[in-house]
Amino acid sequence: MIRDALIYLSGNTLARRVATHAPGARAMARRFVAGETVDDGIAAARALNKRGLKVSLDYLGESVSRREEAVAAADTYIRLIERIAAEKLDTNVSMKLTQMGQDIDHAFLRENVKRILDTAHSREIFVRFDMESSKYTQRTLDFFRELWAEGYRNIGVVLQSYLRRSEQDTLDMNGMGARVRLCKGAYQERDDVAFPGKPEVDGNFIRLMRLLVGSGNYPGIATHDEAMIRATLAFVRETKTDPSRFEFQMLYGVRRDLQHELHSQGYNLRVYVPYGEAWYPYLMRRMAERPANLFFIVNAVLAESPLAFLVRRNDKA
């Protein structure tokens, strides 16, 4: 019921108009989305860099069906990359291939994406291909391999620990020397495709993390789950892994206390910063894909509250 309501609201014109003009809703969104313009995204990246945090900027958008919209999105990424380079920010970019025309035409997708990659290569900027639902996994990895074979090395992919296939995909990416971001995954999937329970997803996350930190090429361990972070830190200590060989990644506005804590301990921390006019459907779809995300966001806010700080301090006393 919650999922259906969120899906309905994500496409409801009146609800979007109310949300995008309501000061309270916009303020809430700005906690998790940097803003709507390239300037907003760059400003957020600049501020995070000043705190010593790395950044990945994501111009919001997905499931594009019109060529002109996909071309405009690519043009925006090119402007974004040029701004990052001009300001010498410690920032890369992440993008969804469906925003670039993956559902339109393969040749068009290649042309559109390669415009971005060529600009990024000339500016020495890294580009990550985000992973969407499982119906895009093979197509995304095939496209990645295609570009890799053509000599593009300023690219990386995302693998999701809730997918049953991800262990073999991790081994394959490690064998290529490709950079991987590991996350849990948040789309609704069939049980034969994805692990249905949190213990299984968490267990697979730890297995994949060990493969990536142990043998991967500067992986990104993307999680806000303290148990997963503890498992990663334990493996790093156990294997005497240099912290410079990997990075933790977290979402903009989520568990900023943990971000600061890990950074202060000497670990690389990259903040994934979404921005763009599509912030309202972005937030609604993220919660609709997995209603638990709604409670996760609320918990993330509460975890940084003064009350939570006092509870943690008392627990350590």
Burial label, 99 (beta-carbon count in 10 A; 0-12, 13-18, 19+): buried
- Domain range list for the chain: 1-33+279-317, 38-275
Q: Quote the DSSP letter at residue 97.
A: G
CA 147 to CA 188: how far, in whole Å? 29
Mean pLDDT rounded to a whole number for the chain: 88
For residue 63, the model assigns a pLDDT of 84
Give the confidence band of 311 by pLDDT, cuts at 50, 70, 90. Answer: very low
Tens digits of residue pLDDT in 113-168:
999 999 999 999 999 999 999 999 999 999 999 999 999 999 999 999 999 999 99
For residues 20 and 26, the answer to whether their CB atoms sit within 8 Å is yes
Which of 99, 100, 86 is CA-nearest to residue 45? Answer: 86
> What residues form DSSP beta bridges with 93?
57, 127
CATH number corresponding to 38-275: 3.20.20.220
**What are the residue ranges of helices labelled H in the chain?**
2-11, 13-21, 23-32, 38-50, 67-87, 106-122, 137-149, 166-176, 198-215, 226-239, 256-264, 279-289, 292-303, 306-316
CA 133 to CA 155: how far, in whole Å? 20
Helix axes of 306-316 and 292-303: crossing angle, nearest 10 degrees? 70
Catalytic-labelled residue, pool 181, 270, 285, 286: 181
CA 124 to CA 110: how far, in whole Å? 20
For residues 121 and 152, the answer to whether their CB atoms sit within 8 Å is yes
Burial label, 16 (beta-carbon count in 10 A; 0-12, 13-18, 19+): middle
Catalytic-labelled residue, pool 58, 83, 128, 130: 130
Tens digits of residue pLDDT in 63-105:
899 999 999 999 999 999 999 999 999 999 999 999 999 999 9
Give the confidence band of 317 by pLDDT, cuts at 50, 70, 90. Answer: very low
130 is catalytic: yes
181 is catalytic: yes
Residues composing the chain: 317
Tens digits of residue pLDDT in 179-235:
999 999 878 789 999 999 999 999 999 999 999 999 999 999 999 999 999 999 999
